[in-house]
Amino acid sequence: MSRNSNNINAVFYAQNYHPIQAGSIDGTDILPHDNAVYRALLCSSASLYDPFGDPKVIGDPYCTLFVGRLSRSTTEDTLRKAMNKYGRVKNLRLVRDIVTGASRGYAFVEYETEKEMRRAYEDAHHTSIDDSEIIVDYNRQQLMPGWIPRRLGGGLGGKKESGQLRFGGRERPFRAPLYAP
């Protein structure tokens, strides 16, 4: 994906993030199906989330990856060493709890070039760091219009057990609506 490309969302399965669509297997739902989606709609309509308002977010979003499902014991050094296999890491931010300072289990890794970021995107997904299988995805926070993070009821992924199954990511992409023949 090039910065000068006319379609900056070419890496995504949907052009814009919409909480109801993210919870719909075929994109046809029109009503929120769980409380998390309802919260995400409220955040979205009330403009309670500003993806560009976080001063800790630095660097080029086109060279940055989200790394999730990290072990709580993973340190910045361990993560940097693991992610350096795929290219030169320019910046790394392991997200920590503001009160306790403990890892929240996810990080943002910025590479020197888009090519290195793409290599990490393809090769690091489902690898192990500190005995935890990680997931790697694009930095949707800054690139996907309308993005709402998981903590506010949005996001992608989820589990059937939690009742918050989401679609639109690497594991469960949006699908075309199903029509009876």
3-state secondary structure the chain: CCCCCCCCCCCCCCCCCCHHHHCCCCCCCCCCCCHHHHHHHHHHHCCCCCCCCCCCCCCCHHHEEEEECCCCCCCHHHHHHHHCCCCCEEEEEEEECCCCCCEEEEEEEEECCHHHHHHHHHHCCCCEECCEECEEEECHHHHCCCCCCHHHCCCCCCCCCCCCCCCCCCCCCCCCCCCCC
For residue 144, what pLDDT is reported?
76
pTM of the entire predicted model? 0.69
Domain at 54-144, CATH class? alpha beta
181 residues of the chain, pLDDT tens digit each: 444 444 443 444 456 666 666 666 566 666 666 666 666 667 666 666 666 666 677 889 899 999 999 999 999 999 999 999 999 999 999 999 989 999 999 999 999 999 999 999 999 999 999 999 998 988 887 777 777 776 666 666 665 555 555 655 666 655 555 554 5
**What tokens appear for 58 in the block?**
């630095």
The residues spanned by each domain of the chain are: 10-51+146-181, 54-144
For residue 139, what pLDDT is reported?
84
